[in-house]
Structure 1
Amino acid sequence: MSSATTQTTVAHPAPYYVQAPPPPAGYPTRDDQNPPAAAHGPVETKSKGDDFWKGCAAALCCCCLLDACF
């Protein structure tokens, strides 16, 4: 008894790549030689005080008062 093996090759399709559409007008890109943000100079930050913490404390007080009332 003899057995014959047959090999079959399966062809896989070649991968294809989809190119992204171009960015909208005015959108900064890596190859932009003169980005609009560079013309404005350095960005300055200013301290806004402790209003955040005052608001946080007020919210906690309100929450505690509402919890005590109801």
Structure 2
Amino acid sequence: MNAHATDSESLLTPSEVATLFRVDPKTVTRWAKAGKLSSIRTLGGHRRYRESEVRDLLNGIPQQRPSEG
């Protein structure tokens, strides 16, 4: 269980997000690096994305995120 996600929050892989947007998974990674989409890192260093945020982005709802770091 990922400590950063709640039990009710589904996490998606870059491939799953890419399929939803019909883009390459590397594009999803670039979006995360550019701050367009927040990601959670697994213990193995892989990125996961909150399904709710991805769905909002798909529906055109702008994301308001606090700046990190």
Larger proportion of strand? 2
Choose 1 or 2 for highest CA Rg: 1
| Greater RCO structure (CA 8 Å; 6+ sep) | 2
Pairwise TM-score range, normalised by the shorter structure? under 0.3
TM-score normalised by L of structure 1: 0.18
